[in-house]
Amino acid sequence: MTDTSNWRERAGRILLDPADPDGEPLTTPLDRRWLWRIEQVIAINGGNDTMRQLAFDLKQYLNETCEHHWRLYAREKDIPSHTQCLWCCTVEWLEQS
């Protein structure tokens, strides 16, 4: 049986959303989004040591080479205002706590 469906039907927001959850334009290239998707799927579905090592190495590579997409977070109670990357989750604090 030939699968005639299209990858776009299963792609989800990580691949196809033109905007981030705040509605800001998301310009991360599709190839890069695919790498993040593959990393997430492997991390969740792990399997054997080879796959776990691949997930670890891919995550390290993606973090090292991330072109950050910053999301702004206003101060909330004890958490100072900050920006956080949608992809690698790096945080930059905008004020002292």
Residues forming contacts to Zn ion in the complex (CB under 5 A) are 66, 68, 85, 87-88
Q: In the bound complex, what is the minimum distance in angstroms from residue 68's beta carbon to Zn ion? A: 4
Task: Output 54 or 88, the one with its CB closest to Zn ion.
Answer: 88
Within 10 Å of residue 95's Cβ, how many Cβ atoms? 8
Q: State the virtual CA torsion across 73, 11, 62, 95 in degrees, nearest 10.
A: 0
CB within 8 A of 26, min separation 6: which ones?
17, 18, 19, 20, 69, 86
Q: In the bound complex, what is the minimum distance in angstroms from residue 84's beta carbon to Zn ion? A: 9
Task: Output 11 or 70, the one with its CB closest to Zn ion.
Answer: 70
Task: Output 13 or 51, the one with its CB closest to Zn ion.
Answer: 13
Q: In the bound complex, what is the minimum distance in angstroms from residue 30's beta carbon to Zn ion? A: 17
CB within 8 A of 2, min separation 6: which ones?
none
Question: Which residue number is nearest to Zn ion in terms of Cβ?
Answer: 85
